[in-house]
Chain A
Amino acid sequence: MKFSLTPIQFFLIIFLLQTGSVFITFQTRLLEGAGRNAWVVFIMTGILHYLLLLFYERQHSRFLPGPFVLLLYKMYWIYINVLSLSNILYSLAIWLYPNTPSIVLLLFIVFVSFYANCCKPDTIINLPVIIIPAILIFFFSLVFVFPDLEWTWLFPLDLKDVELVLNGFLISQVTVVGAASFLFLRKRVVSDVKMIGWPIAIYASFWFLFFFMSLIVVQLFFPLETIAIVPQALLYLLKSQKVNFVERLDLFFLFIWMMWSMITVILFAFLIRLVHAETNSGKQYKFNLLIHMVFLLVPPFFATRDRLEMLREPLVYLHLTIVVVLPIFVFIKNRRKTI
């Protein structure tokens, strides 16, 4: 696959891959796991995310994985897409389409992804631009709830409870799931651009601001005692707002989230194809069809509460293996070769 990325395209793609599948759900799980420590835990995650990107940037030229490692990445991203699609089906069944058969919704999403992935790479790498106004709308929507926020809910902290902090830290790692794409897309960025310094700092800050704001708003809107009984915290707080231009702010936002998620699914499918093309020459059409058949057939099976939780359970551990351990392993292996 021949294409190149500008730094803005590059960061926009990574941003979508990191946010699309989790930004609506991670707040509840983090608050359940870390309690009032959640916001401090997420600051730690933000710092580590920045250091991870710096580490990737310094070492990316040494990232030359073999076929087995590439296969692991493909499997991981297929898993992420199946998880995202199952989550979309489950959320839509609760909030918007309780009576619509999930296969119909899925067919619509998967078909768009399949069609986009049949097009030239230039089509896909420009897709995230659609989301830029949605990001602004998202921030704007959250401003409505500011008068209802209760600042005392930031305290008391219980950072001495190591188990609580560690648990929260592990849960917060879901916000970094798409980070591994950095290593595969970095070499596509036009070569004369330096990423160390402001570009990575600005991206990491924006990523942090996006997640942190959504977390803080949820933490300060709901008493900790109610967070477990609210179906989808972020949607719920938007639903609680009375605005003149739309009856239900949450439904308005839900459509934005659907579009956001759909583009993320397309981008993950594109990444899978990109990695597949590195070891398999020739036509990619059949492989594209195959992975989309998986996306069509597997998610409905997991779109129930128990199965979704079962599918989500290994995410953090897989993520830490794929995003941290595996790249370090590849860097060390290639460093030895160079020496």
Chain B
Amino acid sequence: MRIQKGIIIVILTLFLSGCWDETQYKDLTIVPLIGIEGEEGDITAMFAFPTFQNGQIEYSSSQGKGISTRAARSDANLQTMEALDMAHLEVILMSADLAKTDFAPSLDMFFRTPRNRITSYMAIVEGDMATYFNPPGKMKSEVSYFYPELLRTVVLYSYGANFTLQDAMKTMFDPAIDLALPYLQINEETGIPKVVGSALFSKQRYTGITLSSSESISSVIMANKINKYARITFEWEAKQTQITVNVMRVKKNWKIGTDTISASYDLDISVEEYAPHNLHEKKKREEVTAFLETSFKEHFDAVIKKSQEAESDILGFGRKVRAFHSGLWNQGDWQKTYADLPIEVEVNVRMKLTNIAE
């Protein structure tokens, strides 16, 4: 019994010695926003983080340089009071120039380190990274708070889909689909960063071609990845009016032939804005529906055209081709095959709600 008691005491003593892996907030600084630019082997990283000064939370930023993102962080650590911690990272901004190179290794420290969050949003920025950390315009909130909320809005309003770190890395490594990330510019009028569309990637590299914001929504609808809202406004020149619709539900049907693709979409929509107010008449509803079908088709065709120019299969036709059409898949490099493939789009619109009660 004495031996047993002794063993128990030794074990309890071990528990009293504290937790080796305890991490205290006073020893580190949580970084919610990071910006990466440069090229592989010469990375510059900017970090935004909160600091406590005079009893208030203020946001500060720091910059580091190194041969990798981790080395750049180590460099930045030498200029901050506490070590920078990436465990709660919310947004990764990447410069367009870096995105045009083989940038996957720059993200490895975020993607594979078990402690790090992999649900952080990713976005591409045009121009100098420092401008996005200190924008010329008057911001209503700190950048560390601004970008996560901005990109959450992008998801909520279906301007983009699948652009968290883990989605992006999975998409990049899958040869049957290509990546599209939100694209940011500094608004010339306001001096505030703005999402202007989506950057198209081809085989892990940014192509330099972007979709506009309305094309981005169209691409999300075409991939059937819509979130809570997917609103598009069309100009109806013949009637000299505008019409805004919200896509409520998408049913897609892709038919892959030996050397063609036919993509058919059934869209359930609600009319959000339509000044003539004549949708209580069935004939008018049919007229509006016909106009919407033509307009959606034009938008969808534009997305296909641009993605083929960029050799970027952002909709993921390649996944179905690889799974069930080996002849087409084995023709060679899928991105090249996709770029030359005739793709026929067909759209059927069902007006489910006019947003006007009887």
Contact = CB atoms under 8 A, between A and B. Distances in A.
B169 interface: yes
A156 B323 CA distance: 5
Contacts of A104: 14, 20
B119 A242 contact: yes
B114 A97 contact: no
Nearest to B175: A225
B173 interface: yes
A231 B19 CA distance: 24
A130 interface: no
B255 interface: no
A153 B119 contact: no
Interface string B302-342: 00000000000000000110111010000000000000000
Contact of A111 (B11, B118, B320): B11
B319 A152 contact: yes
A229 B112 contact: yes
Contacts of A40: none
Contacts of B131: none
A108 B8 CA distance: 11
A156 B173 CA distance: 18
A226 B172 CA distance: 9
B174 interface: yes
A96 B115 CA distance: 8
Nearest to A36: B323
B348 interface: no
A95 B114 contact: yes
A104 B320 CA distance: 50
B11 A97 contact: no
Nearest to B113: A231
B166 interface: yes
A225 B173 CA distance: 6
B174 A223 contact: yes
Contact of B119 (A101, A107, A223, A240): A240
Interface in A219-263: 222-223, 225-226, 229-232, 235-236, 239-242, 250
Interface string A137-180: 00000000000001011111000000000000000000000000
Interface in B128-176: 164, 166, 169-170, 173-175
B109 interface: no
A329 to B, nearest CB: 41
B9 interface: no
A94 interface: yes
A155 B21 contact: no
Nearest to B7: A111
A226 B169 contact: yes
A95 B322 CA distance: 34
B109 to A, nearest CB: 13
Chain A interface helix/strand/loop/mixed: loop
Given A153-B323, A155-B323, A231-B112, A240 B118 contact: yes
A236 B319 CA distance: 22
A100 interface: yes
Contacts of B164: 240
A226 B11 contact: no
A211 to B, nearest CB: 23
Contacts of B119: 240-242
B35 to A, nearest CB: 23
B323 A152 contact: yes
A98 interface: yes
A303 to B, nearest CB: 16
A96 B118 CA distance: 16
Contacts of B19: 100
A245 to B, nearest CB: 15
Given A100-B19, A242-B119, 15 more contacts: A94-B114, A96-B21, A97-B20, A99-B20, A101-B20, A107-B11, A111-B7, A156-B326, A222-B170, A226-B173, A226-B174, A229-B112, A230-B112, A232-B114, A241-B119
25 contacts: A94-B114, A96-B21, A104-B14, A104-B20, A152-B322, A153-B323, A154-B323, A155-B322, A155-B323, A156-B322, A156-B323, A156-B324, A156-B326, A222-B170, A223-B170, A223-B174, A226-B170, A226-B173, A229-B173, A230-B112, A232-B114, A239-B118, A240-B119, A242-B119, A250-B114
